Structure 1
Amino acid sequence: MYRRRDTRREHMVAEIINDLRRYAVDAQHVAHAFAGLHGLGGTDLQALIAVMDAELRGDPMTPGRLGEHLDLSSGSITALVDRLERAGHLRRDRDPSDRRRVLLHYAERGAAVAKEFFRPLGARTDEVMADFTDAELEVVHRFMVGMTASLRQHRDDVRAARPDPPRRRAE
């Protein structure tokens, strides 16, 4: 007779995987709500997040890197950046150290709109984190970094396995 091994660890791992899945779905719903309120498509939102992340790392995004990140052709990236710039979400600046290079930055209007929308979520997030010690937050951070790296590696492996993937067009 088959006996199921259900250790506390196995149960906890399954719960965490389910929690991550639900979090990802709920986060996607929130992102879609933001995009819908501001006339943005899914690719637009991915672009804005990529630009914001690059700025937070202190390594501003270029249109070429954004195209690689989103798997878009250069023409599609140009159209996407033009659209986001016209809408006040992005701005293009010349790299001060190499005037031939263009850097993408979150525009003030776009940042203000995002802050206004996400401020209540930020407050809720702060409330949740206040219940954790610094040591616990360090463990959670290490876990999230590892899970994010794992997910990105899987994404990259899936992309690499596609036979001659065509570059997508922006929405």
Structure 2
Amino acid sequence: MAESPELTIFHLLREVTVEYGLRQGEFAARNGMHPTDVRALISLLDAERAGTDTTAGRLGERLGLNSAGTTAVVDRLAHLGLVARVRDTRDRRRVLLVVEERAKELGRAHFGPLIDGATALLGTFEEHEKEAVRRFLSGVRDLLGDTGEER
């Protein structure tokens, strides 16, 4: 029995996430990091791109880590020179996490070809096709967030 087109697309998404996870693992191993460190960097870069300040507490919430686990991740990243702790200029009591340029350079060296290839591929899509991809991926992301809250 053939699967539905929707299920075929979902299985493709699953294949992509597995392959991307493997690339993240390679990046972590190559740079002396734990896979959680890579997820932390991605979360911090996403927050930076969105213009959102990130504290250790907020990072821990995003990654599902307790305080000790979050501290360990931030300590490892700081020790590697990939993340800095800086005082918030608006509230000196808060400490923000900032991704260092070195982390961005390492990420670009490893993931740059994938990013460039994916953006070039998307450049071949019509605008309505890109909107469909955006809507699908945003919807799946939201479903994952909803599922995570039920745990």
> Normalising by the residue count of structure 1, what TM-score does the alignment of the two structures yield?
0.82
Q: Which residue of 1 aligns with 2:146?
A: 153
Q: Which residue of 2 aligns with 1:137?
A: 130
Structure 1 runs of 4+ with >3 Å offset = none
Q: Which residue of 2 aligns with 1:85?
A: 78
**Shift of residue 99 of structure 1?**
0.7
Matched, 1:47 2:47: no
**Shift of residue 156 of structure 1?**
2.1
For the aligned residue pairs, the C-alpha RMSD in angstroms reads 1.5
Residues 4-47 of structure 1 deviation map (CA, whole Å, 9 limit, x = unaligned): 7x7xxx62111111101111111111111111110111111111
Residues 63-121 of structure 1 deviation map (CA, whole Å, 9 limit, x = unaligned): 01112222322233222212101101111111111011011111111111111111111
Aligned-partner Cα distance in 2 for 1:73–1:148: 23
Matched, 1:70 2:63: yes
Q: Equivalent residue of 2:24, what SS?
A: helix
Q: Which residue of 2 aligns with 1:108?
A: 101
**Shift of residue 136 of structure 1?**
1.1
Q: Which residue of 2 aligns with 1:166?
A: none
Aligned-partner Cα distance in 2 for 1:123–1:72: 32
Moved more, 70-79 or 101-110: 70-79
Q: Which residue of 1 aligns with 2:12?
A: 19
Residues 112-167 of structure 1 deviation map (CA, whole Å, 9 limit, x = unaligned): 11111111112211221122011210111011101111112112212xxxxxxxxx
Q: How many residues align?
A: 151
Higher relative contact order structure (alpha carbons within 8 Å, sequence separation ≥ 6): 1
Aligned-partner Cα distance in 2 for 1:24–1:71: 19
Of structures 1 and 2, the larger Rg is shown by 1
Q: Which residue of 2 aligns with 1:124?
A: 117
Q: Which residue of 1 aligns with 2:25?
A: 32
Q: Equivalent residue of 2:33, what SS?
A: coil
Q: Which residue of 2 aligns with 1:61?
A: 54
Amino acid across the alignment from 1:152: G
Instruction: Name structure 1 gaps, 5 residues minimum.
Output: 159-171
Amino acid across the alignment from 1:33: E
